[in-house]
Structure formats: structure tokens, C-alpha cells
Structure 1
Amino acid sequence: MSDLLEAVRAGAGPADLLACELPTRFRAAHTRKDEVGIFDGETDKDVRRSIHVGEVEMPEPAPDEAVVAVMAAAINYNTVWSAIFEPIPTFAFLEKLGRTGPWGARHDQPWHILGSDAAGVVVRVGDGVHNFRVGDRVVVHAGVIDDQEPASQEDGVSSHALAWGFENNFGAFGEFTVVKANQLIRKPAHLTWEEAAANTLCAATAYRMLVGAHGARMKQGDVVLVWGGTGGLGSYAVQLVKNGGGIPVAVVSSEEKADLVRRQGCEHIINRTELELGDEGLRSPKAWRRLGERIRSLTGEDPHIVFEYLGAETFGASVYVARRGGKIVTCGSSTGYRHEYDNRFLWMNIKSIVGSHGFNYHEAVETNRLIGLGMLHPTLSTVYPLEEAGEATRAVQTNRHIGKVGLLVAAEREGLGVEDSALRDRVGEENLTLYRR
């Protein structure tokens, strides 16, 4: 381990951190360009075969960038896509970025460091960085924008934004990462490193979908159907609906998950195993009707909003069950990109499909503010060491998890990083560690 990383672990101040040399190499979980295609023709594309932990080279930071020592990170489904080289290999993104100029060329490497959620300590800042300093404790959000593109002044997501650690290099799963300064957000003081690292991508994505000006614009009293109520996205969506005065209806796949989301304050829960779906599952119109009847039996009405990210398996049902004039807000397709639905139920009932991709910087900061106030809680369930990044990603790939899966990177053990114990006590361990228990 480098002297700089040891100094970070010891809680050294800015002067001592600057006195340590930036290492030329560091450990990271990464994929390799020469392994693209190893899963061709295979049914089970086991990410443990493609994710490696070893040393990579430290890039030179640009003037608008910061180097962060990563204490902890978290797994998102985009890491699964990267690790199975689908829908296109991430290395295609890196090659394209490499053609944009010398700073972009740094990303075009024969290896790709994974990960889009992290918490850590700033150890270097470029000459153009003025809002953050060496020694600051931060979380990193995944939106990489071109702030010189006019569209970014309207909405950062519309400015050809890239997903950090998915569409560029130097992601969260390394002892160090190099990120734009406008990816940095102050770490919530009452959270541990692993708790702080688990939230931003999923929580801010859910915030944009439900609350932000570019999403479904949820209002008080709205009934919101949340697919996968204990998943990475769904577990934050349930909290946001409750906080905003809405009525969440969470769909889960077991009684254990039903109990968990119930303890989050969600009154209306549908265990999909009890719907008697038949061979076609949720793709069948009969299943759509059965689901709609169940929702009405719980709430007395149809959903104003359907929180959709599963895609092919559920999209037809989502369009069907939304009320007249309702909205289906979607940010992904983890069960497949090609959606089939009966368009009569959309156009004849003047429903809307709202596409929502990631979040902008303001939305990420607003989400982090809710976390820092103790109004939105981590849904971290399991933590793995960096050496087991493949196993951690496999758990997400095979859906053997609830909430978020974390990764200890430079932190020596779990439970470190809390700065405001009084706030932590007020928020309550029972809320902060609900998914751990």
C-alpha cells in the first residue's frame, strides 16, 4: 500500500497528504480488453471470470479533475453489463473517448476500472478546481458532463453525459479514482464509508424519476407502483414516495422482502409469487388484469405513477395498470430492452411514458442533502472486500441480494468514517442498518 493511502487511513491532514507522493500504480478491480468475447455462445456469463483485481497505472489528472482515495464503493447493474461486455463492450466507449483529445486518450486503456458509486478522501485537485480541497471527505456521483456544451446549462444529462466507471475509465473499484470536480459531493457526516458509498447512483436516479423537474413530478397523495421494492432503485423509491406524501405500492418476490419494505413504512405490498402468473408471467394480459385488481384492492384506485426499470418482463403490465392520464417513468431495462405493450391502453387513456436517464449534478446534491438530513437512509445489505469484487458483482448479476451491495476498497474495516455520532444517534441505527439486519 502506498504512503499516501496509509496517510489517508490514518486521518492525515491536507499538508501531510500533499507531502506524500501520488503513486504511479494502484490496485483496482478491472476487466481486460483481450477478454472481450470470452462469453460468446454461453448462457451463464459468470462475471467472476472477467473481473480481475491487480495493479493499474495512475493517470495524470486534468485541471478540472480531482484524485480521490476510494475508501468504499458499491455495485450497480451497469458493472454487470461491463463485466459481460454487453450490450456493447465498454472498451468501445473508451476507444471513442480516446479520440476526443489528450485528456480523453487517458481512458483508452487495455483495462477498464469498474464502478459508479464511491466515497473517499480528496488527495489532489487540479488548478481549475475551487470548490473542493485536499482532505475533503466526499461521495462521487456518476454523471460526467461536458460543462462547455450549451445543453449542460439546461440539464447536465442532456449534454451527452457519460456514466463514470461504465462509459469512461478509472471507476470506483480502485484504491484511487480520477473524477471531474463537479462529480464531488460532501459526504454525509453520520454515515460510515460503506454506507455513504452505497447511495448516490440509485438514490439520485430515483429522485430524478419521481421528484425532479424532468421526471414524473410526483405530488402528495399519488399512488406509485414500485417494481422491485427492495432492489437498488426500488428501495430508495419507496422512501422518496413516503417522504413526498405519496402512497407506495411495492412489488416484491418473497415474504422476507415484504417484511423488509414494510419496516420501511410501506403499507401496501404485493408479493408477486402470490399472483398466480402462469407460464407467461407478467407478459400475459391476464396477469396485467390480476395485478391491477390487486392494486385496487389495496389502495382503492389505479397508480398515478409506475416506477419502471425492469423492462421487457414488466413493461406491458406497467402500461396497463397506470390510471387514465397516468405516467410510466422508466430508467432502464434489466430484463431486456425490447418492450411489448398494448398501445390501446396508452393512447386511448392518454397515459405518458417518461424516459429518465441518471441525474444531473443538482439532483445528485439534493438527494445527498436528504441523506445528510437523515430523511433518506442507506439500503446497504452486504459488504465485500475489494479482492472479492467479482463475487460481489455476481451476487447482483444473479439477484442474490437486496438493496445495495458494497465494496470495501481502502477502508480497513466496516464501520469507519462516521464524523457526527450525535446525528447518527438521532437518525437511529435501526433505520441506517435496516437492510443489514
Structure 2
Amino acid sequence: MDALAAAALDGADAKELESHPVPTEYLAVHTGIEDIGMFGGAEDKDVRKSLRVGRVPMPELAPDEVLVAVMASSVNYNTVWSATFEPVPTFSFLRQYGKRGWWERRHDQPYHVLGSDAAGVVVRTGSGVRRWQLGDHVLVSPIQLDDQEPMTQADGMLGEGQRAWGYETNFGGLAHYAVVRASQLIPKPGHLSWEEAASIPACGGTAYRMLIGDRGARMKLGDVVLIWGAAGGLGVYAVQLVKQAGGIAVGVVGSEEKAERVRALGCDVVINRTELGIGDDTGDDPAAVIEAGKRIGAIIRRETGEDPHIVFEYVGQATFGISMFVARRGGVVVTCGSSTGYQHQYDNRYLWMKLKRLIGSHAGNLQEMWECVRLADQGRIVPALSTVHPIEDIGEAARLVQTNGHTGKVGVLCLAPMRGLGITDPEKRASIGEHRLAPLGMG
């Protein structure tokens, strides 16, 4: 560990941090452009084969950027996409981005540093940064935007310059250092450890926008919300947000073990999809979709007395047709992803004749991210970690997500040598309760 990183880990003040030089290279999880074709026609594109942990050059800092010493990060599904080079190799994103200007050229490299979550310490600021100081403990929003675009002033997610940091940009959070725009920073809640805090922004903020935000489903008190993949990284935050907003959470999971874990989060109704005969290929057969929709709809009506107001979708091809069928008349299907495939089939009659709405969503804008983290700061939502790995074991961590062997979020320790560090407000932590801050257990 270099001197600057060690000082940040030890809680050094701004003066001491400034006295240590920025290293010329740093440890990072990355993919290599030469590996794009490595999987060929392989059926199992095992991410352990493509994810590298090694040193990369330290980029120069732009005026509106900060350098964060990353204490912890987490695995998101875009890490899996990056490591399998699907649906397209991310190097095409970096190449296109590099054509936009001087500072953007830094991103077009033969290596791609991954990661869309981070918690750490600000150790350098660009000349144009105003609101942040060396030594600040921060979280990082997974969205980078262009604040000079007019549309960004209405909603950062609608600007053409909006990019997923660490996926569509380089220098992401699965590393000892990360280059971040100041407009991505969020204060870290003091009662959370580094790894706990790093598990929140990408999935928590995305779920917040989908369910609560003005451009999402705008759920209200008493709404029945069907949550596919309720034990996944997005799902565990969706369950918590529905409960905090006074809704009725109906979660779909793939095993009894996961069912018990989402019940611990407060899920009102839990459905094991394996018992319903819903598989990854169900969405390809229109008749199977309707039959599956009838089965799951009957369970929801039996348990809640009505059909769902909102369906929380990110599974995609396997479930989308069912979602469109099962939502109530005038209901909403809100989607932010397609982990089982992007080509969706559904019977359009259930959309138009029953006056349902379909909303496309993505990660939250900065305000939505702040609001989500504010709820975490109040202890109303809690981290959704089930396991934490050292950065050297990123292959195994990402493989868990790739094979759906995880529950909630999979954390990654970067500079932090062990769990439990970074807590600066132990009194608040005690008032919330250790048991509440680990609802999924830790493995």
C-alpha cells in the first residue's frame, strides 16, 4: 500500500493527505482489450477467466474531478456484462467516449477499470471542485453526466452525456483509487462501515427512482408491488423501499433459502418461482406466459386480495410477458434491465386494453441517490450485503453474481484490509442496532 492510501485509511487530515504524492500506478480490477474474443462460442463465459487484478497507470485529474482512495466497492451486474464482453465489449464505449474531447481521451485505453460502486476518501480535487475537501468520506453515484447539457438541468438521467461510471467510462470503483466527477459524490453515512456503505448507491438509488421518484412508478401508501428477483441486489432495496413507503411487498425468489432472507427484510408475501414452473425460457412461449401469469396472479390475490399496482422488473425476457399480464388494470410495469435477455415478448392487448403503463428506468439521478442514502443515514433502509470478498478474489465474487448464487449485494474490500472499518458515528450505529444492519447475514 502506498503512503497516500495508507494515510487515507488511517484517517489523516487534509494537510497530511496533501503531503503524500499520488502514485504513478495503482491496483485495479480490469479487463483487457486483447481478451475480447476469448470466450468464442463457449456456453459458460466464466468471468473468473477474464477479470484481472493488476496495476494500471494513474490518470491525470480533470478540473471537475476528484481522486478517491477506494476503501470498498461491490459487484453489480454490469461487471458481469463487462467481463463477458456482452452484449457488446465495453471497449467500444471507451473508444466512442474518447472522441469527445481532451479529457475524455484518457478513457480510451487497452484496459478497462471496472466498478460502479465505491466508498472511500477524497485524496485530491481538481481546480474546479468547490464543495468537497481532502479527507471527506464519500460514496459515489454510478452515473456520470454532462452538466453543460440543458436536459441535465431537468433530470441528469435524460442527458445524452449520461454514462454508467465504471461501465461506459474507465477508472471505476473496483480499485485502490477511482477518478470521479465531483457531481457524483454523496456524503457517506457515519454509522456504516466502508463495505456496508458501498453496497447502497447503484442498486439502492436505482430502486428509489423506479419506485419512488417522479419519473418512476410513484408508488403510494397501500400499493401492492410485485418484485421479481427480490433477493437480488436491486430486489432487496426494492423490498425495503416498498415497506418504508407503506406498500405491500410481494417478492419472487428462486429458493427457500432466499425466501427466508427476504422475509427477514420484511417482505409480506414470498413466492418461490421454481414451485411455479417459471424458468428462463418461460417468456419464449406465449401460452406458458399466460399460464404462469394466472398462477402467480392467483397467489397474489389470495394473499393480498388484489392484483399488483406495480411490477418491479429487471429480469427481462423470462418474466416480462408475465409482468405485463399480471399487473392490474391501470397498473404500472417499471423496468431497468434484462438479466435473462433483451428480446421481450408480451401480449399487447393487456397493455392497451387494460390501460397499463410501461416505464423505462435506469439508475437514479444525483438527487435521487442522495435521497436514498439519506434514508440509509436515518436507518430506514439498511445495507443488503450477504458476503464480502477481498479485491484479489474479484473473480469468485463476480462469479457468484453471474450464476445467481448470491443474495443481496456482494461486497469487495479494496484498500480496507478487513470488514467493519470506517465507522465514525458508533452512537448512531448502536441506536439502530447491529442486528438490523446485517439482515441477510454475512458469509
TM tier, smaller: over 0.9
Change (3 A) 1:392 1:304: same
**Are 1:413 and 2:414 matched, yes or no?**
no
How big is each residue's C-alpha offset from its partner over 1:338-397, in whole Å with a ceiling of 9 and x where there is no partner? 000111111110001100011111000111100111111000111111111111111100
Which residue of structure 1 aligns with residue 112 of structure 2?
Answer: 112
- The one-letter amino acid of 1:170's match is F
1:253 deviates by 1.4
Which residue of structure 1 aligns with residue 388 of structure 2?
Answer: 383
Which residue of structure 2 aligns with residue 172 of structure 1?
Answer: 173
Q: Which runs of 5+ in 1 are unaligned?
A: none
1:62-73 alignment runs, 5 A limit: 62-73=62-73
1:15-414 alignment runs, 5 A limit: 15-160=15-160, 161-277=162-278, 281=282, 284=288, 285-414=290-419
Number of residue pairs aligned between Structure 1 and Structure 2 = 437
- Whole-angstrom distance in 2 between the partners of 1:199 and 1:190: 14
**Contact 2:279/2:318 (CA < 8 Å) preserved in 1?**
no
1:278 deviates by 8.2
How big is each residue's C-alpha offset from its partner over 1:382-423, in whole Å with a ceiling of 9 and x where there is no partner? 111111111111110011100000100000111101111111
- Whole-angstrom distance in 1 between the partners of 2:206 and 2:278: 30
1:28 deviates by 0.5
- The one-letter amino acid of 2:15's match is A
2:180 alignment partner, SS class: strand
- The one-letter amino acid of 2:13's match is G
- Whole-angstrom distance in 2 between the partners of 1:202 and 1:56: 27
- Whole-angstrom distance in 1 between the partners of 2:310 and 2:195: 32
How big is each residue's C-alpha offset from its partner over 1:264-311, in whole Å with a ceiling of 9 and x where there is no partner? 122211111222458964651211111111110110100000000000
Change (3 A) 1:251 1:103: same
Q: Which runs of 5+ in 2 are unaligned?
A: none
Runs of 4+ in 1 over 6 A off after TM superposition: none
- Whole-angstrom distance in 1 between the partners of 2:16 and 2:220: 49
**Contact 2:280/2:340 (CA < 8 Å) preserved in 1?**
no
- The one-letter amino acid of 2:223's match is D
- Whole-angstrom distance in 2 between the partners of 1:277 and 1:233: 20
Q: How high is the TM-score relative to the length of structure 2?
A: 0.97
- Whole-angstrom distance in 1 between the partners of 2:217 and 2:69: 36
- Whole-angstrom distance in 2 between the partners of 1:101 and 1:436: 46
How big is each residue's C-alpha offset from its partner over 1:86-134, in whole Å with a ceiling of 9 and x where there is no partner? 1111100000111111100000111000100010000000111111100
- The one-letter amino acid of 1:347's match is W
**Contact 2:264/2:440 (CA < 8 Å) preserved in 1?**
no
- Whole-angstrom distance in 2 between the partners of 1:397 and 1:15: 43
- Whole-angstrom distance in 2 between the partners of 1:130 and 1:255: 50
Change (3 A) 1:239 1:332: same
Deviates more, 1:268-277 or 1:246-255: 268-277
- Whole-angstrom distance in 2 between the partners of 1:405 and 1:16: 33
Deviates more, 1:423-432 or 1:325-334: 423-432
Change (3 A) 1:156 1:278: closer
1:399 alignment partner, SS class: coil
**Contact 2:281/2:318 (CA < 8 Å) preserved in 1?**
no
1:430 alignment partner, SS class: coil
- Whole-angstrom distance in 2 between the partners of 1:290 and 1:123: 54
- Whole-angstrom distance in 1 between the partners of 2:212 and 2:393: 35
2:381 alignment partner, SS class: coil
1:429 alignment partner, SS class: coil
- Whole-angstrom distance in 2 between the partners of 1:304 and 1:16: 54
2:440 alignment partner, SS class: helix
**Contact 2:90/2:168 (CA < 8 Å) preserved in 1?**
yes
- The one-letter amino acid of 1:162's match is R
2:380 alignment partner, SS class: coil
How big is each residue's C-alpha offset from its partner over 1:183-236, in whole Å with a ceiling of 9 and x where there is no partner? 110001100000001110000000000000000010001100001111100100
Q: How high is the TM-score relative to the length of structure 1?
A: 0.98
- Whole-angstrom distance in 1 between the partners of 2:345 and 2:281: 13
- Whole-angstrom distance in 2 between the partners of 1:29 and 1:274: 38
- Whole-angstrom distance in 1 between the partners of 2:96 and 2:276: 46
Change (3 A) 1:335 1:125: same
Deviates more, 1:283-292 or 1:155-164: 283-292
- Whole-angstrom distance in 2 between the partners of 1:70 and 1:353: 37
1:71 alignment partner, SS class: strand
